[in-house]
A = this chain, B = another copy of it.
């Protein structure tokens, strides 16, 4: 039976771990198309995995199964889940790695509480905790649920078994506090760097519609630098530039170089977007 399973892990590309998962999948469904999203997530970096997944899953065909194994709690009592959404299925530890997915499909108000918390899933999303060992490889290694639980579950799911066969329905799942920009009293918007991509672009949590409303240009401050106005492409002007990137977030880029290396700003670093003073009077 055809179908697509994507894989996102922090396993890197120097071991046999990802291939062991692919083998375990193909052993159950040899016709499924296995596609890598990313295996270079920093070890155990759940929020990076959540973000990278969020930039890719929307573009896959309906009913794609996204397998995400960034799992610092492997072998402990953290739960493993299936999330069936109107677009796609997800198989992952319930540790927040699906936070952007959950936000997207539940429309939950975002938050910047510093605590991880449980969020109710909406009726159109089916959440199931994996409790049925008959879908697992045996024996299950306590250190590699990716190979022995997640991969076979994704493979059987691709064969058409309904999620509820794999365990018990649950009504709430774990959500990371997703960083969100603040609006200051002067109307400027204060955000944070969410992700640094392979080009050294700094991708922030400020979306296009979070930008201050103004007819005039904007001033963007990051590190010790200021950028005047938004660009449309990476090729405009020279030096630092700011633009709305392909996932809808404000990005800082350095033409012909790495904004990350130049600015020395890391994930979590602050960025401020201001209206240019006086312009509103024009």
Enumerate chain A interface residues (CB-CB to B < 8 A). Answer: 2, 4, 6, 10-17, 19-24, 26-27, 30-31, 33-40, 43-44, 52-61, 64, 72-76, 141-144, 147-148, 197-199, 232-236, 243, 245-246, 251, 256, 258
Question: What distance in Å separates the Cβ of A132 from its nearest Cβ neighbour in chain B?
Answer: 20
Query: Interface residues of A: mostly helix, strand, loop or mixed?
Result: loop
Residues of B within 8 A of A197 (CB): 12, 14-15, 17
Check A4 against B17 for contact (C-beta < 8 Å).
no
A74 contact from B10, B73, B235, Cβ within 8 A: B235
Can you name 11 A-B residue pairings with CB atoms under 8 Å? A13-B40, A14-B198, A16-B38, A20-B59, A27-B60, A72-B235, A74-B233, A74-B234, A75-B235, A76-B235, A142-B232
Q: Contact between B59 and A15 (Cβ–Cβ < 8 Å)?
A: no
Check B74 against A23 for contact (C-beta < 8 Å): no
The residue from B4, B20, B30, B60 contacting A55, defined by CB atoms under 8 A apart: B20
Q: State whether B61 touches A26 (Cβ < 8 A).
A: yes
Known: A23-B64, A55-B20. A147 touches B15 (CB 8 A): no
Note all chain B residues with C-beta closer than 8 A to A144. 245-246
Say yes or no: A23 contacts B56, CB within 8 Å.
yes
Asked whether B16 lies within 8 Å of A52 as measured between CB atoms, the reply is: yes
Q: Which of B11, B35, B147 contacts A22 (CB 8 A)?
A: B35
Residues on B with beta carbons closer than 8 Å to the beta carbon of A38: 13-16, 19
Determine how close the nearest CB of chain B comes to the CB of A161; give it in whole angstroms.
Answer: 19
Q: Are B142 and A61 in contact (CB under 8 A)?
A: no
Q: A278 CA to B276 CA in the complex, in Å?
A: 76
Is the Cβ of B198 less than 8 Å from the Cβ of A147?
no
Complex CA gap A197/B14 in Å reads 7
Interfacial chain B residues near A60, Cβ < 8 Å: 22-23, 26-27
Q: Are A233 and B143 in contact (CB under 8 A)?
A: yes
Nearest Cβ on chain B to A210's Cβ, whole angstroms: 18
CB closest residue in chain B, given A11: B198
15 additional A-B residue pairs with CB within 8 Å, beyond A142-B233, A143-B245: A6-B19, A12-B197, A12-B198, A14-B197, A16-B54, A16-B55, A17-B56, A20-B59, A20-B246, A23-B58, A23-B59, A26-B33, A43-B199, A75-B232, A143-B243
Contact A246 B143 (CB under 8 A): yes
A52-B15, A232-B142 known; A23+B61 contact, CB < 8 A: yes
